């Protein structure tokens, strides 16, 4: 079994441990930030961590009402811009904590008067030394180059931060997520049979929207990293504004269709794709939505939309890891990649 598959299976335990060991710290941080008063949150990240930050943006804006921006690190590192961040919270997100550009964003933000927090898997990293507070994923060392458990660990810390910052004490019920993630592991056997249909896939589109928009980005990245598939990612709304023209008969489209606000739009897109004779694989809890697709992975109907992103990405992780193996590739050692990527 690949390290990637092994680490996918670690996620429920790692998520539970992260909640248990970081809850008090996050709640204290939330109280401090509320008392300080912040008007803006800025998230700085690269790669899978940037996809987790994209999820964090949706979650934080929905639950706290505070505007959230995704940082452009080059503004700091290449153009030496001085941003006014005195009433901002700046969060650096990095598995290793050694991304030089993200660390530079944190350093400059702190110098400008911002409150700074890092989300990392390495408590002794450079990033942890630069931030006012460190939130640590308690998922264990990740050995596979393709991030899985650190991605969902970052997402979990965003849930905890959102709950702590919510003005009305909104209950996110994130304690349910480890159990939902454990149930999602049961999709592995089904996906191991399903991937044979996609062994010769060279191009595809991955679609998600709202809270699962980041899932589309992350699954596309995993397919590019581990399977060398050219995978574009879109929201269901943006896909109709031009990119849908790439679809022809049997063109593969992978869709996330959880319950809630985004499902109607995803279904409308699927109905149109059916007219175009696309090859659709959907991850959903809804039997009627599943019938619109060529293939479907059915999730538990108990999972509400706001808690869906973590359990719904697990079938996507399995799909990438198992498809790589079916293609005769090693998902743990993608060509031209290393575990820590340093950019300025």
Q: What is the DSSP string of 294-330?
A: SEEEE--TT--GGG-HHHHHHHHHHHHHHHHHHTT--
All CATH 3.40.50.10490 domain ranges of the chain, comma separated, are 3-172, 179-326
CA gap 322, 316 in Å, rounded: 10
The Cα 11–Cα 152 span in angstroms is 7
Q: Is the distance from CB of 35 to CB of 187 less than 8 angstroms?
A: no
Q: Give dist(CA 61, CA 66) in Å, integer.
A: 5
pTM above 0.75, yes or no: yes
Structure tokens at 263: 């499902």
CATH 3.40.50.10490 fits 3-172, yes or no: yes
Closest CA to 148 of 8, 280, 287, 275: 8
C-beta separation of 106 from 120 below 8 A? no
CA–CA separation, 152 and 119 (whole Å): 12
Question: Cβ(252)–Cβ(281) under 8 Å?
Answer: yes
> Residues 6 or more apart from 28 whose CB is under 8 A from it?
none
DSSP string computed for 166-185: -TT-----GGGHHHHHHHHG
**Which pLDDT score, from 0 to 100, does residue 25 have?**
97
Count of CB atoms situated within 10 Å of the CB of 121 = 22
Q: How far apart are CA 304 and CA 309, in angstroms?
A: 10
CATH superfamily of 179-326: Glucose-6-phosphate isomerase like protein; domain 1 (3.40.50.10490)
The Cα 107–Cα 289 span in angstroms is: 47
Cα distances from 87 to residues 41, 187, 198, 208, in angstroms, run 9, 44, 49, 32
Q: How far apart are CA 144 and CA 321, in angstroms?
A: 11
pLDDT of 343: 57
| Spatial distance between the Cα atoms of 68 and 99, rounded to a whole number of angstroms | 21
Long-range residue pairs from 24-27, CB within 8 A, at least 24 positions apart, any chain: 25/133, 25/135, 26/135, 26/157, 26/160, 26/161, 26/163, 26/164, 27/164
pLDDT of amino acid 59: 97
Give 8-46 pLDDT, tens digit per residue: 999 999 999 999 999 999 999 999 999 999 999 999 999
pLDDT lower than 50: segments of the chain: 339
Task: Determine the Cα–Cα distance for residues 163 and 175; give it in Å rounded to an integer.
Answer: 11
Distance of alpha carbon 183 from alpha carbon 187, whole angstroms:
8
What size, in residues, is the chain? 344
**Residue 89 pairs with which residues in a beta bridge?**
41, 115
């Amino acid at each position: 079994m690949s390290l990637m598959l092994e680490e996918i299976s670690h996620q429920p335990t790692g998520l539970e441990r992260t909640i248990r060991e970081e809850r008090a710290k996050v709640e204290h941080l939330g109280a401090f930030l509320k008392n300080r008063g912040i008007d803006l949150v800025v998230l700085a990240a690269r790669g899978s961590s940037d996809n987790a930050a994209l999820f964090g943006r949706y979650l934080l804006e929905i639950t706290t009402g505070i505007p959230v921006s995704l940082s452009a690190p080059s503004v700091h590192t290449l153009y030496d811009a001085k941003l006014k961040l005195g009433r901002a919270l700046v969060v650096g997100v990095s598995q290793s904590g050694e991304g030089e550009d993200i660390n530079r964003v944190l350093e400059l933000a702190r110098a400008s008067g911002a409150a700074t927090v890092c989300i990392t898997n390495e408590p002794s990293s450079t990033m942890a030394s630069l931030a006012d507070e460190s939130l640590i994923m308690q998922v264990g060392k990740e050995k596979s180059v393709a991030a899985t458990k650190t991605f969902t660990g970052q997402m979990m810390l965003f849930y905890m931060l959102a709950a702590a910052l919510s003005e009305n004490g909104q209950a996110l019920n994130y304690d349910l997520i480890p159990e939902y993630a454990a149930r999602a592991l049961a999709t592995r056997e089904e996906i191991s049979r399903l991937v044979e249909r996609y062994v010769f896939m060279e191009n595809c589109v991955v679609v998600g929207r709202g809270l699962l928009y980041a899932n589309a980005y992350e699954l596309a990245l995993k397919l590019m990293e581990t399977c060398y598939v050219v995978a574009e990612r879109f929201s269901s709304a943006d896909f109709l504004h031009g990119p849908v023209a790439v679809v022809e008969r049997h063109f593969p489209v992978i869709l996330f269709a959880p319950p809630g606000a985004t499902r109607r739009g995803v279904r409308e897109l699927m109905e149109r794709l059916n007219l175009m004779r696309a090859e659709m694989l959907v991850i959903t809890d809804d039997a009627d939505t599943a019938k619109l697709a060529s293939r479907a992975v059915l999730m538990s109907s108990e999972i509400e939309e706001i808690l869906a992103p973590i359990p719904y990405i697990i079938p996507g992780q399995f799909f990438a890891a198992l498809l790589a193996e079916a293609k005769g590739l090693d998902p743990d050692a993608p060509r031209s990649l290393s575990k820590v990527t340093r950019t300025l």
